[in-house]
Amino acid sequence: MLVTVIGKLREMHPGMRFNVFTYYPVKDRELVKDGSISILSCKPISLITRHFFSTLFLVLFKKLGIKSPKGNFFKIARAISQSDLLLDIGGITFSDGREKYLPFNILTIWPAIMLGVPVVKMAQAVGPFRHWLNRFSAKIFLLRCVHIFARGEKSAEFLKDLDFPADKFETVSDIGFLYRPEYSLSEENTNKVGDLVSWIQQERNRDKKVIVFSPSILVEQESRKMGLDYAEKFMEVIRNLGTDSYSYVFIPNATRESSDKAHNNDLLVIRKIQELSGDSGASEKSLTAVKWVNYDINSTSIRQIIDESDLLVTSRYHAMISGLALMIPTIVIGWGHKYRETMAYFDLEEFSLDFSDPEIDLTKTVIEILKKNSSVQKQIKTHLPEVKAKSESQFSYLSRMF
């Protein structure tokens, strides 16, 4: 979402500069070498101190006619105040059941609001707003955004329920549908990815179908809480289909290779599935038909791999978007309305599965979609232009703001 927003805005205004607020500033500074992009922190401690409190001081100084200090403490507040616009590209914000994230949702936009910088929320899920704390917070802060792009009809309904002004929001599809490889801002393990893509091509030349799995650490954790074996679902498909006619690739959609922390790190669930495969007694021949991406990769590499496959099975929303954008038949094992709603754009709701359903027969669903491969691709191709147009409207709006 981030690189697509930057890429699209650069097409409209080539000289534009960007302040990117990130949870991982040190790592992202290593990855992004673009001189027109400043990487700044939005880690929790930074949000409290250098976003919120420094902004309070900055606002006070302005009212008193005092020139703002040049110290590092005010660097982030100055960056916000000197911006023409703050674009919030959070995937989901101000949503019931996620009250613990409300401080983050608030502090990422409140400083800009205090400094008079217009806030636009790009395509994201918002709501529902039944919980008193979430509804109260949304009433205060969402209503101060100049525009909200609701990702899907459900989010739009929730905004209507909040009595959000109809002229201040619009229903759109995800930004990721507009992604192009040239928007990439980083290079990560491109040689390894190149070797993997060559291997996939060789497997397909041998008349084998290639299935890409993109599991989610979040779904794995939630499944475990419910007593469900998420990792086993993928291994079951491999055992049932075998490796004579099929090969398999496991890829992450969110990676932190050097970290053992679970947040935004699908590498951990891939490692778990890999260990499970090693303990399953599978033959060496079977194991050579499975490849594991257990290293950092970027969006371009993710799409390169998916684009070479016959089928994508994922629990990651933006991996699902990649599959659909590339017209690859896609099965999603997710939760909530956002997955099914997006799949509905392509009349593919039957392939949107609820991870909490213990009766999921993933092998059966895989066989079913592979049988319908050509018709599914045709469905995606038919609907994709309209879905992309729904996303493009965001940038038509932004073009009028500059």
3-state SS string for the chain: CHHHHHHHHHHHCCCCCEEEEECCHHHHHHHCCCCCEEEEECCHHHHHHHHHHHHHHHHHHHHHCCCCCCCHHHHHHHHHHCCCCEEECCCEECCCCCHHHHHHHHHCCHHHHHCCCCEEEEEEEECCCCCHHHHHHHHHHHHHCCEEEEECHHHHHHHHHCCCCHHHEEEECCHHHHCCHHHCCCCCCHHHHHHHHHHHHHHHHCCCEEEEEECCHHHHHHHHHCCCCHHHHHHHHHHHHCCCCEEEEECCCCCCCCCCCCCCCCHHHHHHHHHHHHHCCCCHHHHCCEEECCCCCCHHHHHHHHHCCCEEEECCHHHHHHHHHCCCCEEEEECHHHHHHHHHCCCCHHHEEECCCCCCCHHHHHHHHHHCHHHHHHHHHHHHHHHHHHHHHHHHHHHCCC
Residue whose tokens read 């309904």? 157
What does the pLDDT look like over 90-117, one tens digit per residue?
Answer: 889 999 999 999 999 999 999 999 999 9
Mean pLDDT of 195-204: 97
Q: How far apart are CA 240 and CA 226, in angstroms?
A: 25
294 and 145 belong to one structural domain: no
The predicted pLDDT at position 380 comes to: 98
Q: How far apart are CA 35 and CA 125, in angstroms?
A: 32
Domain count, the chain: 2
Q: Which two tokens stand for residue 203?
A: 């497997």
* One domain for residues 21 and 161: yes
Q: Are residues 217 and 151 in the same domain?
A: no
Q: Are residues 10 and 28 in the same domain?
A: yes
**pLDDT tier at 328, thresholds 50, 70, 90:** very high
Q: Give the percent of the chain with pLDDT over 70.
A: 98
Cα separation of 11 and 399, whole Å?
A: 10
206 and 327 part of one domain: yes
127 shares its domain with 65: yes
Flag whether pLDDT at 6 surpasses 70: yes
What tokens does 337 get? 């309305």
CATH of the domain at 164: 3.40.50
| 35 pLDDT higher than 80 | yes
301 falls in which pLDDT band (50, 70, 90)? very high
Q: Are residues 141 and 264 in the same domain?
A: no
Cα-Cα-Cα-Cα torsion 308, 263, 77, 93, nearest 10 degrees, comes to: 80
Same domain assignment for residues 319 and 230? yes
Does residue 228 share a domain with residue 374?
A: yes
State yes or no: cis peptide before 111, omega within 30 of 0: no
How deeply is 21 buried, as exposed, middle or buried, from its count of CB atoms within 10 A (0-12, 13-18, 19+)?
buried
Residue 282: pLDDT band with limits 50, 70, 90: low
Q: Measure the CA–CA gap between 12 and 256, rounded to whole angstroms.
A: 32
Report which of 12, 139, 3 is spatially closest to residue 84, judged by C-alpha positions.
12
Distance of CA 400 to the CA centre of its chain: 26
Q: Which domain holds residue 348?
A: 189-384
Contact 264, 227 (CB under 8 A): no
Q: Is the pLDDT of residue 401 over 90?
A: no
Tokens 């759109």, located at residue = 172
- What is the model's pLDDT at position 348? 96
Q: For residue 181, what are its two tokens?
A: 């490889």
Name the pLDDT band for 278 (thresholds 50, 70, 90).
confident
Whether the per-residue pLDDT at 323 is higher than 60: the answer is: yes
Q: Which residue has tokens 């079977």?
A: 286
Does residue 2 have a pLDDT over 60? yes
94 in Cβ contact with 102 (< 8 Å): yes
What integer pLDDT is reported at residue 283 of this predicted model? 62
CATH number at residue 303: 3.40.50.2000
| Mean pLDDT score of the chain | 94
pLDDT digits (tens, 9 = 90+) for 217-259: 999 999 999 999 999 999 999 999 999 999 999 999 988 887 7
* Judgement on whether residues 238 and 345 belong to the same structural domain of the protein: yes
Instruction: Average the pLDDT over 276-297 and give the result.
Output: 80
Alpha carbon distance 149, 291 (integer Å): 38
Residue 59 tokens read as 């606002």
173 and 193 share a domain?
no
Give the side-chain half-sphere CA count within 13 A for 51.
22
Cα gap 243→351, rounded to integer Å: 23
Co-location of 140 and 232 in the same domain: no
- How far is residue 169's CA from residue 159's CA, in Å, rounded to a whole number? 8
**Mean pLDDT calculated for residue range 135-152:** 96
Residue 338 pLDDT: 85
Residue 102 vs residues 99, 164, 225: alpha-carbon distances, Å: 5, 19, 23
